[in-house]
Each structure stands twice: as structure tokens, then as C-alpha cells.
Structure 1
Amino acid sequence: MMGPVLAACLLIILSTAWISQANGATCKKDGGVCTCNDNTKSVDCSSKGLTAIPSNIPTDTDNLKLDYNKLSSLSAKAFHNLNKLTFLSLDSNQLQTLPPGVFDHLVELDELYLYQNQLKSLPSGIFDKLTKLTDLQLFQNKLQSLPHGVFDKLTELKELSLNNNQLRRVPEGAFDKLQNIKDLRLNDNPWDCSCKDILYLRDWINDNKEVTGAQDAACGDQQSKAVLDVTEEEAAEDCVYPNTTTAIPTTIITTLASSNDDDIPELPVPQENFQKFLGYQEPDHLPTQPQCLMSISGYLGLMMSLVLTSAAILYVIHFLKKA
């Protein structure tokens, strides 16, 4: 009866090894796609074509690079086990949104790179837990607005890049809590210098002339006039800024409100918007091709495990029949 017992043990060992491997390794040495350095606690997943963040990133990781991939969304819990991170790069992806709370556990984070994505807005409080952050890069996105107080908790921030976005204004007091700011990039945004709201930004730039880059902010798409030079007579409009549209003078809003409903054309609703209206949501995390594919050695190891497992099962069946 020792034959079946040995075969069963072999089956258990091989199955355990196969399950461990199939659960999705992160580091190349384990059959994953990322390069991991145990000495520096760094994980480099740059330029891997990823559409989702790899699972099983070591919890003691200090430096995580996810730049130059194809990430279009993040799970709200994507980084919840990585509270040792001090550096995180998500730049040069296709991120369109950031879920609330996605960075809440990164209490040691010092540098966060989100530039060269497709972000149109930021959730309120998205950076509130990052009280040790000194470098935040948001340039070359599609930001149309900033939530009130979005930078209020970042009192240690030294570098903030908001250039090359679609910002027309910032909320009153947006930069007042940035006590240590040294470099603030605001250029290449269509700042609306016809609205009174621009006067806060003008005055802040004037009061903080030692901050590098801030004085480069210019009005409108043509960038022909510096925000710093705007007069109160020029910024005379009372403007309303919806979260998802550009500034609309109040005179236009009044005209729209008084128009006949019959004159408003019916617009088709995209299917994805209709699904969102009904409450449909895509799953947070789907397996991706780079995650599912293993290295050649890992793949061969998996095939060998399957072959040996099958052999062990046949061996057990054979002895059970004889018994």
C-alpha cells in the first residue's frame, strides 16, 4: 500500500507548486513580468504592455515603476498592501480616472508621477493621506478643473507640475497650504483671464515670485498675456465653472435658461454612458495578457507540472484498482 501513499503525496506536492505558480507571480525570477531587486526593495514593471497592475507585488516594496504601460483604470485597492512605498510612477499610461481612496494607504509616499495620462478630473481628497509627498507630477493630462482643497494636506510638497492641461481656473485658496512649494508649473493651460476667479491666481503668483515656473502662466489658448499682468477691469465677468465643462459666462446661462425646450435638439446617449446611468460597472481587476503569460522557463515548468500531476493521478488509480 506504500505505492498509492507515495503517489498521493507526490500529487499534493505537485498540485501545490502548480497553484502557487498559477496564482500570478510578479517578479521575473518567479515567472512574472517585472524585475525585482530585493536589496533596494524596488519593482520595475515599466514598458510591459500591462492593462492592470500585477498581483502579488511584495508588500515591503519601496520603489514601484508602472510607467509606459496601457493602464486605463485602477482598482480602488490597487496599492492597499504597499504602505512602504516612497516612490510610485504611473506616468505615460492611459489613465482616465482615479478611484477615491486609491492612494490612502501610501502614507510614506514621497514622489508620485501621474503625468502623460488622460485624466480630466481629480476626486476630492485624492491626495489627503499623502502628507509626506514632496513631488507631484500631473502635467500633460486633460485636467479641466481641480476640486476645492485638493492640495491642502500636501504641506511638504516642493514640486507640483500642472502644465499642459486644460485648466481655466483654480479654486480660491488652491495653493495657500503649500508652505514649502519651490517649483509650480502652470504654463500651457488656457487660463480664463476674463473671469474674476483668475484674480486669486494672479495675486498668488505675485505674492510668491520666488516660486519657479508660476510666473509662466498665460491667458487663453494663445498664451499671449501673462496671468500676472491681468487687471481687475479685464477680469470682470462672473463665471460659472461646471465640473466637466469650460467656463460659461452668466449671460449665456441666462439665455439658455430662457430658451424654449422645443429648440433643444435630442442628443444620442452613448451605450457606455447609459450603462453607467443604470449602475453597471466593469470589474475592478481583470487578468491581462502580460499577467497571464509566463516566461518560457515558467511555461515549461507549468507544463511539466501538469504532465507529472497527470502521471501521479494515473498511478494512484492503477494501485487503487489493484487494491
Structure 2
Amino acid sequence: MMGPVLAACLLIILSTAWISQANGATCKKDGGVCTCNDNTKSVDCSGKRLTAIPSNIPTDTDRLELDLNKLSSLPSKAFQSFTKLTFLSLNNNQLQTLPEGVFDQLVNLDKLYLQYNELKSLPSGIFDKLTKLTDLRLGYNKLQSLPNGVFDKLTELKTLYLSTNQLRSVPQGVFDSLSSLSTISLDPNPWDCSCNDILYLSKWIREKEGKVNGIESATCVNKKAVLDVTEEEAAEDCVYPNTTTAIPTTIITTLASSNDDDIPELPVPQENFQKFLGYQEPDHLPTQPQCLMSISGYLGLMMSLVLTSAAILYVIHFLKKA
């Protein structure tokens, strides 16, 4: 009777191996789209030319990297299952908008990177649930304005990057709740120092000078430091396309007929492509990469099935003889 016992043990071992192999395929440890690390609960899907977020990312992920892909939009419930996430990076994608509430479930998020995208605006309250956030990076986008109170809930925020956008001014009081801020990046932006909306930013910079790193670098379009702007210089009322003030029809026509190809692309420093080192472009990209296994994973799975079938037949053979 030792034969059937040994065969049963072999069957259990092979079944466990098969389950482990299947889980590995789900997490793509076998050379598939994303690289997963169970020990650190991190998932790296960078540089895969993804147009959608993979659907099989473990819900207990702590760190999620989606840099250097082709994401142009996010579903409103894209991150609703990742309540344990503390780090989320979406740098170097093609995001043009963020849906309202997309980050609402990320209540433990500590760092959020959204640099090198094409964001032109932010929804009101987009960061309100991220009360533990300490690092927010919005640089190298096309932001033309900020919503009122957009940072009001971020009392733990220490680092804020707004550099290389298209900001002319910021709303009154937009930085007042950032009591923990130690570093901010504001330039280059086309700060309009002839408009009285700039006076809040100028006063805030003077008050925080020496307390917040990088704050003095903000300069007006005429190269004057924002902190040196006086009320006499900023006497004009502000009229921008993103306000409720009526815009002359001729301006609307001009904007509508403008060609996006005429807008220069922002240069991306070489250091932002360090993740490409050692990365080779695959000869063939699957249409739904998040749902496919690599060849090695597939062969391993098939081998497990063959061995399991052999073990079952072995058990049946000995049971019949017994």
C-alpha cells in the first residue's frame, strides 16, 4: 500500500505547484506584462506601452508604478480596490483629464506622481480624500489653472511640484492649508505679474521665504521675481479663457482654428528615461497584454498539468491492484 500513499503525496505536491504557477501567472512574475514582488507588495508595469491599467493587479499592492506607458484616460473606478496603496506613479503617460473621485479610495496614499502628462485642468476636490499625502508631483503638464481649495485637505503635504505648466496665477488662499510644506516648485510658468490675481502668490512667497525650499524661483513673464511684484505693477483685472468672463468672438474663433501641432512639446530630461536602461522593445505586443501569459509561463503550466495527470493515473493504477 506504500505505492498509492507515495503517489497521493506526489499528487498533492504537484497540485500545490500548479496553484502556485497559476497565481504567478496572475501576478505576471513569469516575465509577463508587470513585475510583482510579494515581499514588498510592489507592482511595476512601467514601459510596457499599456493603453489600459491591467485588471489582474493584486488588491493588497502597496506600490504601483505605471510610468512610461500610453494611458490617455483613467476609468473613474480605476483604483477603487487599492485601499492599501501608499505609492502611485503615473509619470510619462498621455493623461489629459482626471475623472472626479478617481483617487477617493486611496486613503493611505503617501506619494502621487502625475508628471509628464497632458493635464490641462484638475477636477474640484480631486485630492480631498488623500489626507495622508506627503508628496504630490504635477510638473510638466499643461495646467492653465487650479481649482479653488484644491489643496485644502493636504495638511500633511511636504513636497509639491507645479513646475513647467501654463499657470498665470493661482486662486486666493490655495496654499494656505499646506502647513507642513517644505519644498515647492513653481517655475517655469508664465506668471502674469500685470494682473492683480498674482498678488496672493507674491505675498505668500514673501511670507514663506526661507521656510519653504524653491519658493523664490517663481518669475514673471517679464523675468521679474514674483515676490517683488507690487500692487501698482499688478493693477489690471484678470481676464483669462478659463474664467466666467465673456470672451470676444474673435478670440474664440482664433482659439478654435489654432493647430495643436504648433504647440511646442516640453523637453523631457534624459534622467527621466533611466527605467529604459536594459529594456528592449518586444518584437510583438499582444492586443490585451494584461490577460496573456508569457511562453515560459504557459509551458510551465502545461508541464504541471501533464505531471498531475500522470500522478492521478498512477494512483488509479495502484488502487485497482490493491
Is 1:172 matched with 2:172? yes
What is the Cα deviation at residue 26 of structure 1? 3.9
1: CA distance, partners of 2:122 / 2:26: 32
Aligned to 1:217: 218
What is the Cα deviation at residue 294 of structure 1? 2.6
Listed as ranges, the matches of 1:127-276 within 5 Å are 127-209=127-209, 210-220=211-221, 224-243=223-242, 256=248
Amino acid at match of 1:111: K
Aligned to 1:75: 75
Q: Which runs of 4+ in 1 moved over 6 A?
A: 264-270, 301-305
**Does the aligned pair in 2 maintain the 1:102–1:126 contact within 8 Å?**
yes
**Does the aligned pair in 1 maintain the 2:56–2:290 contact within 8 Å?**
no
**Does the aligned pair in 1 maintain the 2:163–2:186 contact within 8 Å?**
yes
Amino acid at match of 1:116: Y
What is the Cα deviation at residue 303 of structure 1? 8.4
Segments of 5+ residues of structure 1 without an aligned counterpart are 1-16, 271-286, 306-323
What is the Cα deviation at residue 304 of structure 1? 9.0
What is the Cα deviation at residue 267 of structure 1? 6.2
Q: Percent identity?
A: 69
Structure 1 residues 267 and 145, CA gap change in structure 2 (3 angstroms)? closer
What is the Cα deviation at residue 289 of structure 1? 3.8
Aligned to 1:310: none
Aligned to 2:64: 64
**Does the aligned pair in 1 maintain the 2:145–2:168 contact within 8 Å?**
yes
Q: TM-score, normalised by structure 1?
A: 0.72
The DSSP-based 3-state class of the residue aligned with 1:33 is coil
What is the Cα deviation at residue 78 of structure 1? 0.7
What is the Cα deviation at residue 163 of structure 1? 0.4
Amino acid at match of 1:230: V
Aligned to 1:309: none
Q: TM-score, normalised by structure 2?
A: 0.72
What is the Cα deviation at residue 151 of structure 1? 0.4
**Does the aligned pair in 1 maintain the 2:112–2:136 contact within 8 Å?**
yes
What is the Cα deviation at residue 59 of structure 1? 1.1
Listed as ranges, the matches of 1:287-306 within 5 Å are 288-300=287-299
1: CA distance, partners of 2:258 / 2:196: 34
What is the Cα deviation at residue 291 of structure 1? 2.2
Return 48-57 or 200-209, whichever deviates more.
48-57
Q: Deviations over 1:216-244 (max 9, x none)?
A: 11111x5x11101111111011113343x
Return 46-55 or 287-296, whichever deviates more.
287-296
Amino acid at match of 1:144: Q
The DSSP-based 3-state class of the residue aligned with 1:201 is helix
Aligned to 1:123: 123
The DSSP-based 3-state class of the residue aligned with 2:26 is coil
Aligned to 1:50: 50
Segments of 5+ residues of structure 2 without an aligned counterpart are 1-17, 260-285, 305-322
Amino acid at match of 2:228: D
What is the Cα deviation at residue 33 of structure 1? 1.4
